[in-house]
Structure 1
Amino acid sequence: MSVALWATASVAAATEPAGKSGAADWARSGLLGDFSLGSSRAPIRISADMLEFDYKRRVVVYRGGVEVTQGDLMLRSTTLTVRFDERAPEREKLKEIVAEGEVRIGKGTRFATGGRAVFDQAARTVVLSQDAVLHDGENRVAGQRVVVFLDEGRSVVEGGDERVHAVLAPPAHDDQSTGNSSGAERAK
């Protein structure tokens, strides 16, 4: 397999679901749980200023203005490091992906920002740190660190030395569904 193809496939395998379950489906619908490269059959496109592949250590590093897209999923960072398990017999078993520097992960109206994101394949977690902020439309949750447990359907937001902050917008309701009709409508 060519280096470029292998490096691209490595990112695709990064967060491929380990198994199908209701909890895993729910986790994938959460803010970061939905950001699963490899769960789509759409091609993965990666661009960066430089690509370095260390054959001996089984590490691929993309540097400079890294952009990864798959369908409507997007990841941007300064660097993206893909590590493979050196002990795995197939030698292509993913260990982790680390995005560093102005990390932004997005899909549709949802996006997350932070200084660092780690996708740990064995633990099936995504850890967004260094002033992590999750956005879903008008909703926003901020903390020093966010841990998403992909197969458990849960997330933990930690404030570190500061408190966790959340802004939750109430759902939009039209006047008729809430019973708040205008005076003109009541007069009919």
Structure 2
Amino acid sequence: MSSAKTRILTGLLALFISASAMALPEDRNQPIRIQADTAELDDRQGVAVYRGDVVITQGTLRITGNTVTITQDQNGDVDVFTAVGKPAYYEQQPAVDRPIVQAYGLTIQYFAVDERVVLIDQARVVQEGNTFEGEKIVYDTRRQIVNAGRAGTEVSTPRPRIDMVIQPRNRPAEQNP
């Protein structure tokens, strides 16, 4: 790899680390690791494309896909990254006392500034035994809010309705008189 490409890759990784403000505070302070078969970096356009069983990890954050594209804004900060797979996958622990959230979709977009994950086509989020499925799911990682519904675009598996399973909360055993 040429020194120019190495500088671009290092710059993109540093920007991605600084832009990531998801879930556990320790995550954004961890190094990012990107594994892929190939990487194409375009510094002028602010775009990096990774292909071939891509795995991105940072602390408890893990994203996988066949292709992951990372774009930067005009200031050089990471704006959006998009993972495409069969399905693409996202997981992260939202807080020290909470279990890992898992999310799937044929396309997953992470908007760094908003700390928002958008799952499109065969979208599914699993959190504490609860499942949310639909054509499109928007997961606000900061507020831990999930919205599910129709994609509004053509999808491989149309779902006229969302499907949710919500587990009962554990209640203290009632005391016998």
Q: Does 1:120 align with 2:111?
A: yes
Within 5 Å, give how 1:162-177 maps onto structure 2.
162-173=160-171, 177=172
Q: Does 1:81 align with 2:69?
A: yes
Query: What is the RMSD computed on CA atoms of the aligned residues?
Result: 2.8
Deviation at 1:2, TM superposition (A): 1.4
The runs of 5 or more residues in structure 2 that have no matched partner are 1-5, 93-98, 152-158
**Aligned residue in 2 for 1:104:** 89
Identity of aligned residues (%): 23
**Aligned residue in 2 for 1:7:** 12
Deviation at 1:156, TM superposition (A): 1.9
2-structure distance, mates of 1:73, 1:150: 11
SS, match of residue 2 in structure 1 = helix
**Aligned residue in 2 for 1:23:** none
**Aligned residue in 1 for 2:33:** 45
**Aligned residue in 2 for 1:22:** none
The runs of 5 or more residues in structure 1 that have no matched partner are 17-27, 29-33
Q: Does 1:178 align with 2:173?
A: yes
Q: Give TM-score, length-normalised by structure 1.
A: 0.70
2-structure distance, mates of 1:120, 1:72: 18
The code of the aligned residue for 1:164 comes to I
Cα deviation, 1:152-187, whole Å, max 9, x if unaligned, reads 6643211454111111122345xxx32266xxxx8x
Deviation at 1:14, TM superposition (A): 4.2
1-structure distance, mates of 2:146, 2:126: 14
2-structure distance, mates of 1:129, 1:84: 21
The code of the aligned residue for 2:84 comes to E
Q: Identify the structure with bigger relative contact order (alpha carbons < 8 Å, sequence gap 6+).
A: 1
Residues 1:37 and 1:4: Cα distance change in structure 2 (over 3 Å) = farther
Q: Give TM-score, length-normalised by structure 2.
A: 0.74
Deviation at 1:8, TM superposition (A): 1.7
Within 5 Å, give how 1:29-40 maps onto structure 2.
34=23, 40=28
Deviation at 1:55, TM superposition (A): 2.3
Residues 1:122 and 1:133: Cα distance change in structure 2 (over 3 Å) = same
Residues 1:130 and 1:38: Cα distance change in structure 2 (over 3 Å) = farther
1:59 pairs with 30, 42, 47, which one? 47
Residues 1:46 and 1:105: Cα distance change in structure 2 (over 3 Å) = same
Cα deviation, 1:100-158, whole Å, max 9, x if unaligned, reads 11211112532000111112346653211111100023211101101234566643211
For these two proteins, the number of residue pairs brought into alignment is: 158
